[in-house]
Amino acid sequence: MIFRDRYDAGQKLASRLQHFAGDPNVIVLALPRGGIPVAYEVARALHVPMDVFIVRKLGVPGHEELAMGAIASGAVRVLNRQVVEQLAIPQSLIESVARREEEELHRREQLYRGDLPFPDLHGKTVILIDDGLATGATIRAAAKAARHEGARRIVVAVPVASKETCQEIEAEVDEAICAVTPLGFFAVGQWYEDFRPTSDEDVRELLMKAMKDLRRVA
């Protein structure tokens, strides 16, 4: 299956999440930026609130597409030990990359959320959504941070993922839903006809639309 775009992927993913529809204890948290359009369609279909959860990949210098780990709001850090050990990445380099990504994380928090308080996750079922899973480093950091914030149940939901990564994530959270786990998975973008970048303005606009949609339903 190839999705038309992230909105199409979100609509298809929502059909796998109908058991959460209308549950007042459910909140959708999107990983920006690519996860935002997917999460918007899911939250709209389920009639549950949506917010953004900032996670930054720690890319290997010179090969930034390869994640050696990730950081998330709340000073949470998750390292991909296999990548770190195989490439013999020194701690000093990890710290340097982490400092740079922490600056971007704080910038995006202010840009997307402004003065709005982060939602209370205590006792909630949190559905973490991205546009796909490759290494799973960012979603692991998000899950760890959400658990730290008191979430009762962690659900990871993505339109597409490698089968191996989906199975690994499933063992670490309460539920993992990967709509498609194709053979020959190489990169998330290959499973979308339109995989153009989601802009900061797109993120802000969809967050506002999600809040307005929920108020209309209420």
Task: Judge: domain 6-217, CATH 3.40.50.300.
Answer: no
Distance, in Å, from the CA atom of 107 to the CA atom of 95, rounded to the nearest integer, reads 18
Answer yes or no: is pLDDT of 152 > 80. yes
Please state, for a pLDDT cut of 90, what percent of the chain lies above it.
66
Find out whether the peptide bond into 81 is cis, omega within 30 degrees of 0.
no
Sheet containing strand 63-72, edge to edge, reads 55-60, 63-72, 76-79
End-to-end alpha-carbon separation of the chain, Å?
Answer: 35
- In the chain, the amino acid numbered 66 is L
Predicted pLDDT of residue 138:
84
The string of pLDDT tens digits covering residues 46-99 is 999 999 998 888 999 988 878 898 888 767 788 888 899 999 999 999 999 999
- For the entire predicted model, the pTM comes to 0.85
Task: Work out the average pLDDT over 162-174.
Answer: 94
